[in-house]
Amino acid sequence: MSKDYSIETKCIQSGWKPSKGEPRVLPIFQSTTFKYDTSDQMGALFDLEDTGYFYTRLQNPTNDLVAAKITDLEGGFAGMLTSSGQAANFYAVFNICEAGDHLVCSSTVYGGTFNLFDVTMRKLGIDCTFVNPDSSPEELRKAFKPNTKAVFAETIANPALVVLDIEKFVDLAHEHEVPLIIDNTFATPINCRPFEWGADIVTHSTTKYMDGHAMCVGGCIVDSGNFDWGKNPEKFPGLTSPDDSYHGIIYTEKFGKGAYINKATVQLMRDLGSVPSPQNSFLLNVGLETLHLRVPRHCENALNVAKYLKNHEKVAWVKYAGLQEDQYYALAQKYLPNGTCGVLSFGLKGGREVSVSFMDKLKLVAIVTHVADARTCVLHPASHTHRQLTDEQLVEAGVAPDLIRLSVGIENVNDIIADLEQALAEI
């Protein structure tokens, strides 16, 4: 869809395209169900012989139109919305892995994703090997097994802020004839489009920058359409062998490049039901309309705050890939030349306790679990999101015990810095 338009135009115009006399703004199809005239018409839908809406758990026009916009922003082939980022990552993997299969995943992924793969998916019989994303290809190769079905990583890891060497991961995944799934939540398609570097599937927690205002939890999966599931059909039987729940259709034969998203929709969404409310998708779409304006401002403010903190005598360290001295600056210049994200992390001299008391002194900047919305906020992962991890796992996840995650919003940066300054003066 409209690959010729620039990304700013796609943020506003992609998805809903009204014709004569239709509403200018994306309508909310607040309906669980859809009407048909004959029983046969409805039957054809259940057999996947015809396409059309019949029940919102499977598909809803508002949800689909917003998915189409995100698909267009990523330069993908097909996409779907889910009720959360967690659901998106679970479906993205479970769509091609079953009991007895194995996944290779970066150890620095978001804590929720780490738990999902390390605890819950193991209970389903899906094994996962976590790898240090900075390891050499030789080292990373050792993680692969004959039953490996996918590689998973984040463009910019939350909250470790590790920038992924996407091409290194693409090469490794493809060498083993499995897809690379990238969670692109922090970068957003404004700053990085992983398909342009060869990734196969992209996921998002739309809860973050895409929504942008901390209104709705949501997720999205986008397929590039480029991975050839049929090349090793025995590796991906869910896509290449008959589905008994649809009279034996074979997704790759029936849907071609659309096999992956169609299966996730008509099978996983049908059976597991993590569907977003059309009302939430409408709000997500409003957020997407300004994504291209907000993301650069988040990055500009974050870089200014990072430079301020770097020069403060009470600050022990700052991590932000936009800083020239950062370990990931070169990778960020390659994959995210227009900016990384609005999230940075830092530690204070005196360690964990000082970091915590500093946070309590903030006035404008709030302590919330959220990141990546318009309002500046902080979190102490070791006491909050990552509190279930052992100290060893914390280090592996790239989360130092004194790490403060600061999500820089789009307020006036001088006001943000003034608040940090008064809190630093108090400790």
Q: Which x/- pattern over 28-67 shows residues binding ligand PLP (rule: CB under 6 A)?
A: ----------------------------------------
> Considering only residues 143-182, where is the footprint of ligand PLP by CB under 6 A?
154, 158
> Considering only residues 240-279, where is the footprint of ligand PLP by CB under 6 A?
none
Residue 86 interacts with ligand PLP (CB under 6 A): yes or no:
yes
What is the total count of residues that contact ligand PLP (CB under 6 A)? Answer: 17
Residue 211 interacts with ligand PLP (CB under 6 A): yes or no:
no
Quote the least distance from Cβ 110 to ligand PLP, whole Å: 4
Whole-number Å distance between alpha carbons of 90 and 236? 17
Give me the count of residues in the chain: 427
Quote the least distance from Cβ 282 to ligand PLP, whole Å: 17
349-387 burial: b if 16+ Cβ within 10 Å, else e:
eeebebbbebbeebeebeeeeebbbbbbbbbbbbeebbe
Nearer to ligand PLP, 154 or 259 (CB): 154
Residue 183 interacts with ligand PLP (CB under 6 A): yes or no:
yes
Whole-number Å distance between alpha carbons of 106 and 87? 19
Interacting stretch for ligand PLP, rule CB under 6 A, among 82-90, 293-301, 376-384, 392-400? 82-90
> Considering only residues 397-426, where is the footprint of ligand PLP by CB under 6 A?
none
Can you tell me which of 110, 117, 169, 251 binds ligand PLP, judged by CB under 6 A?
110
Can you tell me which of 31, 54, 55, 112 binds ligand PLP, judged by CB under 6 A?
112
Can you tell me which of 66, 217, 249, 410 binds ligand PLP, judged by CB under 6 A?
217
Q: Which of 17, 128, 30, 16 is nearest to 67 (CA)?
A: 16
The two tokens of residue 409 are 């919003």
Are the CB atoms for 323 and 352 separated by under 8 Å? no
> Considering only residues 280-299, where is the footprint of ligand PLP by CB under 6 A?
none
Can you tell me which of 219, 225, 276, 381 binds ligand PLP, judged by CB under 6 A?
219
Residue 111 interacts with ligand PLP (CB under 6 A): yes or no:
no
Given the rule CB under 6 A, which residues bind ligand PLP?
A: 84-86, 89, 110, 112-113, 154, 158, 183, 185-186, 205, 207-208, 217, 219
